[in-house]
């Protein structure tokens, strides 16, 4: 919608400039009237929800408002001697308006208005955000000596009775806790309490209850970038980085789970009182998926794991004598469902860090595995819906799969897996390829 409106605006500005040049007149009254009309039309479209108001429209609204005010003032002024027509002035004003219009439309184009993925459950969904402070850990990314804080957001069944399984989500390498909001919403609508974690300094941006802001750490960001560049790290160096990344991630997830379990015992907050602490699942995308798999091996109270497009870091054993990785020889007993894009599927048999993910790994003989053909790494998040331009830039091109089909199918499969493992509803039997 933003692109269409931008094209209309640019056609108007350029056409009016051509008309003025041909007729050698400014047509000031006509232009002012049209601009007032455009602002009125924008307001009407917003009030009738053709344009769904959000921050993406703020710059455009300000521009249209200022032009409408200027036009109104000009029209109600007493008649004065008309300004002499100058082609150069018309051209300069047109160039200025074209640049201003493009800038005003940038948010609406980068973050286009889009329908939400379908929600199929009977429950309304409530949300709540909290900041948990871990008094047993000092923040390693700063030198202030502050304790580590972790921001979380809950999606839960609203106006519902009973208790529901807890699902804990961890975002990707530089993601944010709302990266898969459509997934959390669908799960909550079907009777789950979902908590998503912002891992400070691993997340792109997070803000705590007291206003503290943490953005992605530059050193960590460089490490992640180098991970995807062949030849930068030896396997030994990569192993050290993996251990460091996973310790922070799993420490955060353990802390959040333990905090929630403690609060569920005595905190009267209805969010915590809706949680069935005997049923816990973990899931995550990319690095968050790797951390979820790690937790599924470490904790006895994890009943199910969904790994979205991630390597099994917990299952890698580094062999210094030949600088290589091999797969852990101990069976993985927690039920697990793996979802892969083309980006990862093509690396399972060729990239060292995916050696444990290989389909012939006997330690995962009972694992469910699905491949989404045509999907790229970020297809399993809401980003391709929220900002197709950013998604394509970050993942190196457009995915061949329809983004709504991908995310809605993913959400449905995750729901059915957790239903089977945590609620004993249905029989989970996914296809090998979607």
**pLDDT for residue 78:** 59
Query: Per-residue pLDDT tens for 18-55?
Result: 888 888 888 888 888 888 988 999 899 899 888 888 88
**pLDDT for residue 81:** 62
**pLDDT for residue 52:** 83
**pLDDT for residue 10:** 85
How far does CA 404 lie from the centroid of its chain? 14
Distances (CA, A) of 141 to 44, 173, 236: 49, 16, 23
Partners of 130 in the beta sheet? Answer: 152
Q: How confident is the model at residue 427 (pLDDT cuts 50, 70, 90)?
A: very high
Q: How confident is the model at residue 243 (pLDDT cuts 50, 70, 90)?
A: very high
**pLDDT for residue 138:** 95
Q: Hey, which bits of 301-423 come out as E strands?
A: 304-308, 316-319, 324-327, 336-340, 368-371
Residues 6+ apart with CB under 8 A from 358: 327, 348, 349
CA distance 335 to 281: 10
Query: Per-residue pLDDT tens for 295-334?
Result: 999 999 999 999 999 999 999 999 999 889 999 999 999 9
The residue-averaged pLDDT of 193-216 equals 96
pLDDT at 347 over 90: yes
Q: What is the pTM of this model?
A: 0.89
pLDDT at 77 over 80: no
Mean pLDDT of the chain: 93
Q: How confident is the model at residue 1 (pLDDT cuts 50, 70, 90)?
A: low
**How many Cα atoms sit within 13 Å of 340 on the Cβ side?**
21
Query: Per-residue pLDDT tens for 107-146?
Result: 888 888 888 999 999 999 999 999 999 999 999 999 888 9
**pLDDT for residue 372:** 98
């Amino acid at each position: 919608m933003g692109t269409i409106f931008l094209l209309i605006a640019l056609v108007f500005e350029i056409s009016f400039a051509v008309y003025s040049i041909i007729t050698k007149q400014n047509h000031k009254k006509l232009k002012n009237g049209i601009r007032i009309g455009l602002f009125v039309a924008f307001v009407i479209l917003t009030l009738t929800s053709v344009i769904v108001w959000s921050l993406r429209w703020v710059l455009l609204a300000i521009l249209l408002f200022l032009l409408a005010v200027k036009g109104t003032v000009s029209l109600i002024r007493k008649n004065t001697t008309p300004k002499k027509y100058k082609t150069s002035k018309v051209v300069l004003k047109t160039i200025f308006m074209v640049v201003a219009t493009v800038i005003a439309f940038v948010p609406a184009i980068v973050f286009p208005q889009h329908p939400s993925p379908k929600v199929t459950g009977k429950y309304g969904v409530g949300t709540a955000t909290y900041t948990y402070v871990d008094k047993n850990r000092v923040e390693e990314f700063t030198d202030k000596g502050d304790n580590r804080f972790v921001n979380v957001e809950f999606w839960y069944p609203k106006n519902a009775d009973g208790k529901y399984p807890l699902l804990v989500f961890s975002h990707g390498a530089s993601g944010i806790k709302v990266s898969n909001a459509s997934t959390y919403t669908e799960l909550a609508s079907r009777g789950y309490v979902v908590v998503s974690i912002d891992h400070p300094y691993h997340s792109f941006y997070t803000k705590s209850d007291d206003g503290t802001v943490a953005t992605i750490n530059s050193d960590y960001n460089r490490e992640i970038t180098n991970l995807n560049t062949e030849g930068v790290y030896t396997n030994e160096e990569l192993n050290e980085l993996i251990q460091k990344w996973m310790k922070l991630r799993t420490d955060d997830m353990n802390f959040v789970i333990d905090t929630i379990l403690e609060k569920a015992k005595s905190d009267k907050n209805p969010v915590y009182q809706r949680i069935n602490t005997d049923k816990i699942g973990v899931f995550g995308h990319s690095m968050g998926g790797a951390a979820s798999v790690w937790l599924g091996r470490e904790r006895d109270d994890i009943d199910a794991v969904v790994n979205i497009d991630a390597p099994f870091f917990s299952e890698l054993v580094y062999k210094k004598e030949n600088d290589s990785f091999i797969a852990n020889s101990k069976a993985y007993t927690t039920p697990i469902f793996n979802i892969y894009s083309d980006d990862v599927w093509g690396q399972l048999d060729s990239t060292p860090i995916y050696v444990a993910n290989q389909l012939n790994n006997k330690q995962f003989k009972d694992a469910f595995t699905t491949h989404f053909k045509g999907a790229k790494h970020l297809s399993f998040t809401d980003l391709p819906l929220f900002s197709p331009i950013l998604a394509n830039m970050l993942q190196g091109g457009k995915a061949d799969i329809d983004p709504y089909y991908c995310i809605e199918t993913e959400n449905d499969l995750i729901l059915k897996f957790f239903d089977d493992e945590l609620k004993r509803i249905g029989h989970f039997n996914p296809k090998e390829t979607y």
